[in-house]
Amino acid sequence: MSEKHEEKVTVGSWFGRWFINNKYTIVMLNVLLTVLVLWALNRVSFIFDPVAAFIGAVLPAIILAAVQYYLMNPLVDMLEHKYHVPRTVTIIVLFLLVVGLIIWAAVTLIPMLQSQIQGIIDNWPAYWKATENAVSNWLSDPQMKSLRTSLQNYSDQIQNTLLKSANSAVSDTVTHLSTAVNVITVVFMTVLTAPILLFYMLKDGRQLKGKLAYFFPIKYRAKISDILSDINSSIAAYVRGQLIVAFWVGVMFSIGYSVVGLNYGLTLGIVAAVLNLIPYFGTFVAVIPAFIIALFDSTGMLFKVIIVFAIEQTVESKVVSPLVLGNKMNMHPITTILVLVGASAVWGLWGVIFAIPIYAIFKIAFQRIFDSYRIRSGLYTDDLIAEGLVVKPQDEVEPPLDKED
């Protein structure tokens, strides 16, 4: 009797209500503990430097192999399931095709690109000067004097920044030969190990989900497996979609520039394809060099390039992107822009490239965890019943009205 009384007093006291049995207090304590753990890890971060160095060494090869995996795996799966072709045979054939494409590019495409890139580098000062003169002529009106002065200042700042960056890069390359050697080593090891990783990812990649889920308790393995499946599907659709769209953007720009007679059309098209991997901003950045080169040629060429850009944007936004991408990531444009801006401020170019996939991973994981919390907490019962995720309890179901005889 005394034990029950003591338990009631403890639970019913103000300390029990505010601290022991208060969910918000428990949540705040967990947050505080998490912050303290992160602070402690930051104080001993030097312990993790070897781990960071190891990850930095293997991550490029893993990323390169993963991108190729998402491109090749659908074909390997289709041939295995539909035509019963062994996976190893398909993988070897695909590797031989890739080697053939690399040899063809090295013999034909790369020399052409090298020549065009060298031409752009040699003539870029003249292109920039001609662009400045053209803009100055357009702003020759006295009313545009203040704007002309501002543009001239911005132009000088850009040139000085580019010059300082180039000098700094040369100086760093000369004074930090060990860093250059490390970069070359990483590139060499990436090229050497990525094909090996790709082979085993294509051959045994289906077992990875089960291996990862095995580290979790049995009651959570099904949910973890579902989360991993959703993440894999989302990332696969995004990677394949972005690369396919980028390929067709490069093709359209290369053909369009060649048709209108713009110099270095192939190189500018490939630049547009690569920069198109940056959502919303990439293509607009890629056409700036094309506008400058076209303006150096003639005003008529500038209008032709604008027409090519307008046609490409129309075809990409109305045909290519809806067919290939659709809304695979289920992200609002505002969310995408904010994620890109924030990631670029923290991690630079790499943040821009990988921000969307990383955001998708955290979004899927958080959504699944929150859905589980909604069901377990009992705070969202009405919403879950309205969404059809749970059934209304029998004692809350209104009994049918008795029919009168």
Reference 73, options 90, 98, 93, 60; nearest CA is: 90
Mean pLDDT in the chain?
79
383, 363 Cβ separation under 8 angstroms? no
1-35 tens-digit pLDDT: 444 444 444 445 666 666 666 677 777 888 898 89
| Sequence-ordered list of residues with C-beta below 8 angstroms from that of 363, at least 6 positions apart, any chain | none
Least confident of 25-34, 64-73, 305-314: 25-34
From residue 3, alpha-carbon distances to 11, 21, 70 in Å are 12, 19, 62
**Per-domain boundaries in the chain:** 44-137+174-205
The reported pTM is: 0.74
Q: How far apart are the first and last CA of the chain?
A: 56
pLDDT at residue 57, as a whole number: 81
Band of pLDDT at residue 307, cut at 50, 70 and 90: very high
81-117 tens-digit pLDDT: 988 999 999 999 999 999 999 899 888 888 888 888 8
Counting every residue, how long is the chain? 405
Reference 262, options 231, 292, 283; nearest CA is: 292
**In this structure, what token pair is assigned to residue 169?**
């890069």
228-284 tens-digit pLDDT: 888 888 888 889 888 999 999 999 999 999 999 998 999 999 999 998 888 777 888
**In this structure, what token pair is assigned to residue 245?**
């769209």
The Cα 379–Cα 173 span in angstroms is 60
